[in-house]
Amino acid sequence: MNLYWIVPLLAAVSFALTAGLRRYALARSLLDVPNGRSSHSVPTPRGGGVAIVLSYSAALVALFGWGLISSAVLIAFLGAGGITAVIGFLDDHGHIAARWRLLAHFFAAAWGAYWLGGLAPFTVLGFAIDAGWIGHLLAVVYLVWMLNLYNFMDGIDGIASLEAITVCVGGALLYGVSGNLQLAWPVVLLAACVVGFLCWNFPPAKIFMGDAGSGFLGVVLGLLSLQAAWVSPGLLWGWLILLGVFIVDATFTLFRRLFRGDKVYEAHRSHAYQFASRSQGSHRPVTLVVGLINLLWLLPIALGVVLYNWDGTLALILAYVPLVWLAVKYKAGQLEGRTSNI
C-alpha cells in the first residue's frame, strides 16, 4: 500500500491548523510580550505547536489502523505526548506552578516508559549492560529532561522546529540503512507535521510554538529513541548523537546555573544559542547553523555507529566535544551582560 501521499497531506493540515491557531491567539490576546528575558522584540502569538500535537496524534492513529505501529507504541506516544501537551497548553494560557508541571511531566514520562518497556539493554565501550529497574528509572528521568530541555531550547525563531525536522530526517536514514525501514514512518510523519508549522515559525516567526508544542516534541523524540533502543543499541546511540545540539547546550547551561545557585526553573536567555543570536543580531543564521550541524556533523557520526559498528560511547564523545566547545565559546549559562533584545 502506497502511503507516501500522507506526508504532504500532514504538512498541509499542520500548516492550516497553525493558521487557525494564530487567528485564535490574536483574538484571545495570547501574545508573548517581550521582556528582559526574551529573545524577540515584537509581541507574537503563541501556542502554534498545538497544530503539531493534533496533526501528529491523528497520524499515529492512522499508522496504528494501517498496522504500522503497535498498540503499545500508540498508547505510549498518545498518553505521554497528550499529558505533556495539555499541561503545556494550560501553562500557555495561565501560569501553572513549577512543581505541578514537573509532577505532570514525571507522570507522562512514566506512562510512556512503561508502555515502551523502559530502557532496553545497551552497550558502553563494548560491554553489554542490562540496568533492570534502575534502567527504567533512568528512562523516566531521561524523558522528563528531554521534554524540559526542548522547552528551554525553544527560545529563538525556528530553532526547535528545524531541530526536530533534521533529527527526524537523520533518524529515518538510520532506520533505512540498518534495515528497519518500517520504524521510519512515525519519524517521517513527525517531520511532516513540523514542516507545516515551520512555515509560520521560520525567522521572523509569525507564531511561537509554546510549551504545548515544545514539550510534546521533546517527549516524543525521547520516546522514539527509547523505542529504537529495543531494536538495536546502536540506534539508541545514533539518536543521542543526533540530539546532541539541544542536549549539550541545555545540559551545560543547566549545570552552570545550578552551580551558581540560580533558580533553574525561572526563565532566562543564557543558552549558547541565545548568546549566539544576540552576537549575530539575528535568529536566522543560528537556526540554520543548528540544522547544518545536525546534517553535516552529527548525522555522519550516527551513521558510522549504525553502518560500521563504531563504538557508540566513543562516537558520542567525538560528536559532543565540538558542541561543548561551542557552549563554552558562546558563554552558555553565563550571567548576561547589557545586551539589547533581538
Distance CA 270, CA 257 (A): 9
- The alpha carbon torsion through 185, 90, 140, 227 (nearest 10 deg) reads 0
pLDDT in tens, the chain (342 residues): 688 999 999 999 999 999 999 999 999 888 887 665 555 558 899 999 999 999 999 999 999 999 999 999 999 999 999 999 999 999 888 778 889 999 999 999 999 999 999 999 998 988 888 888 899 999 999 999 999 999 999 999 999 999 999 999 999 999 999 999 989 999 999 999 999 999 999 999 999 999 999 999 999 999 999 999 999 999 999 999 999 999 999 999 999 999 988 877 777 889 999 999 999 999 999 999 999 999 999 999 999 999 999 999 999 999 999 999 999 999 999 987 644 333
What is residue 24's predicted lDDT score, i.e. its pLDDT? 94
Cell of 46: 503563541
Please spell the DSSP secondary structure of 193-210, one letter per residue.
Answer: HHHHHHHHHSSSPSS--H
Q: Which residues pair with 124 in a beta bridge?
A: 127
**Nearest one of 182, 181, 180, 214 to 197, comparing CA atoms:** 214
| 88, 157, 209, 249 from 243: Cα distances, Å | 22, 18, 19, 11
pLDDT at residue 338, as a whole number? 43
pTM over 0.85: yes
> What's the confidence (pLDDT) of residue 327?
97
**Cβ 261 vs Cβ 340: under 8 Å:** no
Please say whether the beta carbons of 293 and 218 come within 8 A. no
Provide the residue ranges of all domains of the chain, joining segments of one domain with +: 6-30+44-329
